[in-house]
Amino acid sequence: MRLSAATAILFAGLISGCSSSSSLDTIAPPSRETTSSVAMSAAPVPAANVGARVAQMTPPQNVQSAPPQEMLAWAGPVPEPEAFAPAANTTTTLAAPVPDARPVAFVAPENPVTQAMPQGRSRIYGHRFRDAKPINFGRAKNPRKMAVHGVDVSRWQADIDWARLRTQGANFAFIKATDGGDHLDPMFKKNWRAAKAAGIRRGAYHFFYWCRTAGEQADWFIRNVPREPGALPPVIDVEYNGESSCKRRLSPERVREKMQVFMDKLEAHYGQRPIIYTAPDFYADNLQGAFKNYPFWLRAVAQHPSIVYPNRKWLFWQYSGSGLSQGVDGKIDLNVFHGSEDQWHDWLEARAN
């Protein structure tokens, strides 16, 4: 779920370094495991029709970019700035990123009016995904034998046929929403609406940026992700990203402190305890033994989570970054819920109460 590579030369004149003078700050190495959300080339970004419902925003004079003393939240290509001033019933299209401009913060309504996800026990579709790089996890630990499968997506999956994707086994989806304090994934609004229309239970995730305050990032996520009945808990994505312009490496204590601030604000707003998504290297350095009362979503694309994350209870497992499915062009991340169909429905019902 990490961000795309950005050419350092293009950023040299635009973004000042964010490294700290502290002895704790070192260059963060990229994770040894990658998923399809890590775009390794500058792929074209599809225009996203965000629709009339979410296009009502404040006039341009009220739009503020991030404070000049802080690093830009977007760790990949910098989107082209736009003057957001649509009328109430117009449609807004987000532009493809260009490397020589600073983004203007996308300001959506604080609490957009949304329709509730249909309640009740929805149909569970069996696994029909394929894998470009299949892994033998062993007969007893094969994720394909688990009951409830799902996906996670971002801009890099482009236009998705969500109805078709559901029939292939996408019973849930985690959708990239924001990162840092001023970047909105240009496909989020479209994916959020379309996944719901297809009957897929979905939640939003935030890529945490270590050169931005936790409070600002929580406010940005809350501003852009609706508080909607039936939605899955919000997700904080914490991992190393060696391709980011932010090279700050914090102490484990500081990492957990910032995460706690962010998660407390989201839990107070959405009424659900956030899910923590992480990768093996980041977990080993910062999260072992921490946050025992939080649900974890673990990336383990080479071995079972019980081997990669010993003694850690988990709720979701991202087992592939090279999935293939009807309804999506290219690769997609594949996930499973840790439980039976009945346990899945019970967990959903507990979230709705």
Q: Which residues are catalytic?
A: 152, 239
* 12 DSSP assignment: H
Look-up of token digits 């989570």: 305
Are 18 and 314 a contacting pair, CB within 8 Å? Answer: no
Are 210 and 248 a contacting pair, CB within 8 Å? Answer: yes
Give the C-alpha separation, 79 to 149, whole Å: 33
Identity at 15, one-letter amino acid code: I
Backbone angles phi, psi at 266, to 5 degrees: -70, -40
Are 76 and 38 a contacting pair, CB within 8 Å? Answer: no
Candidates 292, 166, 155, 177; CA nearest to 228 is 177
In order of 31, 72, 198, 339, the CA distances from 245 in angstroms are: 16, 9, 37, 39
Between β-strands 275-278 and 235-238, what pairing exists: parallel, antiparallel or unpaired? Answer: parallel
Backbone angles phi, psi at 297, to 5 degrees: -120, 115
Segment holding 220, helix H or strand E: helix 214-224
What residues form DSSP beta bridges with 172? Answer: 201
DSSP string computed for 43-90? PPPPP-B-TTTT-----GGG-----TTS--S--SSPBPP------TT-
Tokens of 28: 């963060």
Are 42 and 78 a contacting pair, CB within 8 Å? Answer: no
